[in-house]
Structure 1
Amino acid sequence: MPPRRVVTGRSQEPRQRFAEELRHLRARSGASLRQLGDRLGWDWSLFGKMEKGETLGGPEVVQALDQHYGTSGMLLVLWELARGDKTQFKERYRRYMTLEAEAVSLWHFAVSVLPGLLQTPGYAREVLAAGGLRGDELEQQVEARMGRRDLLEGEEAPPFRTILSEAVLRTALRDRQAWSEQLEWLAEVAERPNVNLHVLPFSAGPCGLDSTDVMFLRLSDGRTVAYTENAYRGELIEDNRPVERLQRAYDAVRDLALSPAESRKFILRMLEEVPCDPST
């Protein structure tokens, strides 16, 4: 791991300091912008704009850079300072992102929206736009979200289990083509050996996680932490007792859900029900 640089007074303005650090780290690595983009899976022009101070990028791309350079969260701290709004990216979420990247297995439950790890660009764009993002910031966040999907790819990808409430699959996108592409992607991902995808049908009735999106992370030291989220806030839970309660609720939901094979068939049936776009 390269030594962490001390944040000195050489660049007092936070945004300038962040851009300076990005330039320094890439120069030390000897990589071009295009090479960096190829290695991390983002458009190289985004990194160029970040190094010039034209944009800050999103938290997910900054996390990827932290991991790439081995800077142990330093870039995330500088990014937060550059934004000048600590409420936008609280400590618990920064820690969650770090733990997610280190997790040896993940399991998840979705109430109404697909997890970022399974979203297509069209789905991410419509969901993020519904949350108020526009223009360049929207496109940057879509790119960042797509970069997170790398976590589930490759031979070293950790096991991932997700249970999708039927409501997730009944909340279609306005763009029919984008919705078809999303369902096709889910059906494809469901066949990966490291992914178990379940659908919790409406017929299962109420469950203990009806109002809670939750992600569990099994860490290399054997601990399990949980991250719960709703439309307004997220919470990282590391205490054993509440994590165990959530796990018991999750296990009960899994017992009610369709098997992976049945769930894939469910998704394929939904794909067949998507109306054809008359303009195509």
Structure 2
Amino acid sequence: MISNRLPARMRALAMELKVLRAQSGLNTQKAAARIGTSTATLNRTEKAKRISHITDVAALLAVYGVTGPKRTWLLELAENLNAREWLETGDRLPHLLPALAGFEAEADVLVNFAHSIVPGLLQTPAYARALHASEDITGTDQEAMVAARLERQKVLMSPNGPKYVAILDEAVLRRPYGGSEVMAQQIHWLIGRARMPNLNILVIPFRHGGYPNPGMFSLFEFRSTPPIVYVETEAVSGFLDAPEEIKKFQGRAAKLVKVALGSADTVNFLTRMAADYERS
């Protein structure tokens, strides 16, 4: 049985199955008929309103022509739908990206806290390349990751995109990934984004002193489903969906907003920082 939460794995699987069906060119009626179930049942599966038996998921993947590592991962997801948390390490981190992009697209409000690097949704291509290069990711792998990041950023430009709040520690802006020119360009990019009606960028300056630092996280809030938190560290990243965890991160986000500069002061702060980089 599902508790009073809606597990992140279940929601991610629902999004994946819906996308795969659309890519196969089938509507829900035809796809349901292929596996011997009802259209209503498949609709509930694609809306994360029922736990799908793994045999049903395997049948759908066969109908959609999904094989190899993608099939293996989705079946593993289906086997652990009601797990308390969804954390991945090492080479398994890419499995989180489709779900992350899906939640970004569905969110009504997205709050993002970053203490060391510019959040992915706000990175310029040059900054993203410099960041990947620092992790020894180069060549075609780097370009593929940059392209994927830029694709995710389109959600902020969508008419139905989320209200986005980014809270950045000043350290994010002081570490010059790519050098002064890249950082000046990145900060001007942030200034431009800060002036968009659905975006709010806030900086916590060093002069405000210390504060409780929860590490990099994103809080997703939706119109009709429970919130989800995405946490990211060097070693482990993933999703939390337990109500007590959500409440904890909502409180942390509220405290971070209070210690940060306001919107107008942040733009002035960013303008001065960009000028500093341009002079150097």
TM-score range, shorter chain: 0.5 to 0.7
**Root-mean-square deviation (CA), in Å?**
3.0
Q: Identity of counterpart residues, as a percentage?
A: 26
Which residue does 1:265 correspond to in 2?
268
Structure with more contact order per residue of length (Cα contacts < 8 Å, sep ≥ 6): 2
**Is residue 166 from structure 1 mapped to residue 170 from structure 2 by the alignment?**
yes
Tell me which of 244, 248, 271 is aligned to 1:245.
Answer: 248
TM-score (norm 2): 0.67
Spell out structure 1 runs of 4+ moving beyond 6 A. 74-77
Q: CA deviation at 1:201?
A: 1.0
Change (3 A) 1:77 1:172: farther
8 Å Cα contact 1:93/1:235 also seen in 2 = no
8 Å Cα contact 2:103/2:220 also seen in 1 = yes
The 3-state SS of whatever aligns with 1:274 is helix
Q: CA deviation at 1:100?
A: 2.0
Q: CA deviation at 1:233?
A: 1.6
Alignment map for 1:1-280 (pairs within 5 Å): 4=21, 80=70, 87-89=91-93, 94-208=98-212, 210-276=213-279
Q: CA deviation at 1:206?
A: 2.3
Summarize deviations over 1:248-267 as a string: whole Å, max 9, x none.
11211111100010001000
Which residue does 1:65 correspond to in 2?
none
8 Å Cα contact 1:200/1:257 also seen in 2 = yes
8 Å Cα contact 2:126/2:178 also seen in 1 = no
Counterpart residue identity of residue 113, structure 2? F
Change (3 A) 1:172 1:213: same
Counterpart residue identity of residue 237, structure 2? G
Cα distance in structure 1, aligned partners of 2:66 and 2:135: 23
Cα distance in structure 2, aligned partners of 1:201 and 1:75: 51
The total of aligned residue pairs comes to: 211
Q: CA deviation at 1:90?
A: 6.3
Cα distance in structure 1, aligned partners of 2:72 and 2:135: 22
Cα distance in structure 1, aligned partners of 2:135 and 2:166: 23
8 Å Cα contact 1:93/1:234 also seen in 2 = no
Change (3 A) 1:124 1:76: farther
The 3-state SS of whatever aligns with 1:253 is helix
Summarize deviations over 1:21-74 as a string: whole Å, max 9, x none.
x8x76xxxxxxxxxxxxxxxxxxxxxxxxxxxxxxxxxxxxxxxxxxxxx9xx7
The 3-state SS of whatever aligns with 2:21 is coil
Change (3 A) 1:237 1:93: farther
Counterpart residue identity of residue 157, structure 1? G
Unpaired segments of 5 or more residues in structure 1? 6-21, 26-70
Q: CA deviation at 1:181?
A: 1.1
8 Å Cα contact 2:101/2:152 also seen in 1 = no
Unpaired segments of 5 or more residues in structure 2? 1-17, 26-60, 74-88
Summarize deviations over 1:173-193 as a string: whole Å, max 9, x none.
233222211111001000000
Cα distance in structure 2, aligned partners of 1:123 and 1:229: 19
TM-score (norm 1): 0.67
The 3-state SS of whatever aligns with 1:4 is helix
